[in-house]
Structures are given as C-alpha cells and as structure tokens.
Amino acid sequence: MLTIDSHCDTPSQIIRLRNLRENNARGHVDFPKLRAGNVDASFFALFTPQSMAPDAATRYALEMLAGVHDQVAAAPEFAAMAASVQDILDNREKGLISILLGMENGLPIQHSLALLREFYRQGVRYLTLTHNGDNDIADSAAGEGRWGGLSPFGREVVAEMNRIGMMIDVAHCSDKTFYDVLEASQAPVVSTHSCCRALASHRRNMTDDMIRKMADKGGVIQINLYPVFLSDTFARTLADSGLEDPADEAEAAFIAHPDDAAARAAWYRMEDRLAELPRPGVDVIVDHIDHAVQVGGIEHVGIGSDFDGINVTPDGVENIAQIGRVFDALRRRGYTEEAVEKIAGKNFLRVFRDISK
C-alpha cells in the first residue's frame, strides 16, 4: 500500500533544530517515524505566518527549503527529494521515503508570478493560497474579507499555477475564496489538510457542498488530524482549559530561541499539559473520512496530518509512526483493501499526476 501524507509542518521544526535522522522523543515527524509508519511520501510545507513582512517571509521560506534539502542529503539511507509522481514511485522501489515540498501561505511570492515560478523550479509542488489572514492573493478563513474572495492578483496566480502544473491548495481559504478558486481554475484543486464542517463546526473545515463540488472537479479533501478540527467537544474543552494563550506564549518563546534549554523545556511541559486533556481518537478521524467519502466519493478523500503544525494530537495517533491505526480502523469499518489504498495515497497521487500534466 502506498501512503502519502499531504501536509506536515516539519520544515519549521528543522529551524527549531530537530535532527530528522533521529527518532526524536518529542515531535511528530522524523525519518525513523515515517519509516515506522510505512509512509512512502510526505509533503513538507514551507509555512510562513501572516505576521511576517514579505521580504522576511521569502527569506524564511528559503531557509526552510535549504534545511529540508540539508536534512535529506544527510540521511540517504532514509529519504530522497521528489518533485513528481514518477520520483515517488522510483524512490519507493529503492526503499526510500519521498520528501516533497509545499508552501503554506502565498506571502513569500511577494505579488510576483516570477517568484511563484521560481519556487516551483525549486521543487514546491503546491501553494496553500492563504494562512490565518488575508493576503495579496485571497481572503483567509480567519481573515476579515479584504477582497471578497480571490483578489485580481489571485486570479493571475490561479491561472499561472494551472499553466505550470502546480497544485492549488484551498485549505485556510475563506468560503468565498474557495468558490472563486473552483470557478477560476481549469484544473482540479485540493485541500491538503481540512476536516468536515458537518461534524465539527470550525471555519477551517469544509461544508458538504464544498466537498461535493471539489470532488466534482476531480479534487481531494485530505483529512486533518488536529483535534480542534475533529471535534467541537474538544474545541470547547481546550477553550475552557485556559491553556490556549499560555501554550501560544510558550511556543513563541521556543520559536524565538530554539537553542534555549529553558524555553524548550517550558514548551515541552505545555505539550504534556495539552496531552492530558481528553482528546478525540482514531474513531473520530475515521468519522470524518467516512463522512467525506459519503459526500464526495471514495476517489476524493485522503490524509493530510498537519503534524508538527499542531500543538496537540489525537489520542492514539500522537505521531506519524502511528498513522497505520487510521487505516486499520477503516478496515474495521468495512472498507475494502482497495478503498483503504485509495485513501492512504492513491487518490492524492492521481490528482498530483493529473495537475502536473
């Protein structure tokens, strides 16, 4: 079975000094964990927060990109870079994990189609148009509605991504942006890490109509493992715990000083406190997969963990080594092996191939 995780935020953890060759006691993704989870390909997202100035965001994206290349080059027994479906298949034949690149937030392209093309040349194969704020391309699910959907430049970005064969990722987009993108794009679009709003009401999740229309256009929804997106009950539990702001502060201090042992220890203590909360487990993940399958069809659902970009994980799937528990749960629900294989990776591989053409 070929397994693809369409979104993790591990590049930002490289900046925080994680060595991916080691099986880290902390953290969600490294090469030994990917191998233990039988993951064949992982899309590493170059994430930049909307709070950054454009020049700083571009520099930071390039630093993360360089860090990914450095770590893969230092671990030839584990992994190799990939930029195409054929690369994934070739690396798999060699027993290597494929590391691919995405970019989360269009801020680093700085209103420049030339920079968009250059990041594509450097191996970036999808762009998540926005993050938690409106940008020059489009409105975010967490934004104020600057454009009312796609901006004029955003329409140029969609057309250029279609032309060069780059995947358009609508995770984090506002509902209006989603529909604008679906109308403007000549190719299928993807949501690399989202859940179903019918089951959990978070604005980042997709409505049934969105899932259905994206599937009708040939795209896929990749189910996110963040407990807040999986469960309204957990979202309320987290809000009532009083841990959200202290967690953000502890993580910000760790990000600012990753070599500070005290800042690192403080962040680890906060992670432990978050993990003590009652969290949704594997069955809730499968509920979202099952719902998306019922709405969009078996050909249009996959997994995008969001690991290393979330501060708390589902109960029983604390890192990528345990992703097989999701597939085992699907089998217990009555999914055939062929259906599980589609969800595990074949669906996203097909869309990646189609868009690359």
pLDDT tens digits, 33-56 = 999 999 999 999 999 999 999 999
Please tell me whether residues 203 and 317 are part of one structural domain.
Answer: yes
Query: If you ran DSSP here, which 8-state letter would residue 227 be given?
Result: H
Q: Of the candidates 279, 314, 342, which is a domain's last residue?
A: 279
Average pLDDT in the 87-99 region?
A: 98
Confidence category of residue 167, pLDDT binned at 50, 70, 90: very high
Q: Say yes or no: 250 and 332 in one domain.
A: no
**Are 154 and 33 members of one domain?**
yes
Tokens representing 22 are 């080691």
Residue percentage of the chain with pLDDT more than 70:
100
CA distance 283 to 293: 15
Q: Are residues 237 and 178 in the same domain?
A: no
Q: Determine the average pLDDT of the residues in 209-235.
A: 98
Judge if 136 and 242 occupy the same domain: no
Domain identity same for 188 and 202: yes
Q: What percent of the chain has pLDDT over 90?
A: 100
DSSP class of 109: G
Q: Please tell me the total count of domains within the chain.
A: 2
Mean residue pLDDT of the chain comes to 97
pLDDT given at position 350:
98
Residues 126-165 pLDDT 10s: 999 999 999 999 999 999 999 999 999 999 999 999 999 9
> What CATH number corresponds to the domain at position 322?
3.20.20.140
When pLDDT is cut at 50, 70 and 90, the band that residue 122 belongs to is very high
The mean per-residue pLDDT over the stretch 8-15 comes to 97
Of the pLDDT bands very low, low, confident and very high (cuts 50, 70, 90), residue 357 is confident
Asked whether residue 175 falls in the same domain as residue 243, the answer is: no
Provide the sign of the torsion angle of the four alpha carbons 42, 168, 73, 251, taken in this order: negative
pLDDT exceeds 90 at position 11: yes
User: Which residues in the chain belong to E strands, given as ranges?
Assistant: 4-8, 41-47, 79-81, 97-104, 124-128, 167-169, 190-194, 220-223, 301-303
Range of the domain at 68: 4-231+280-356
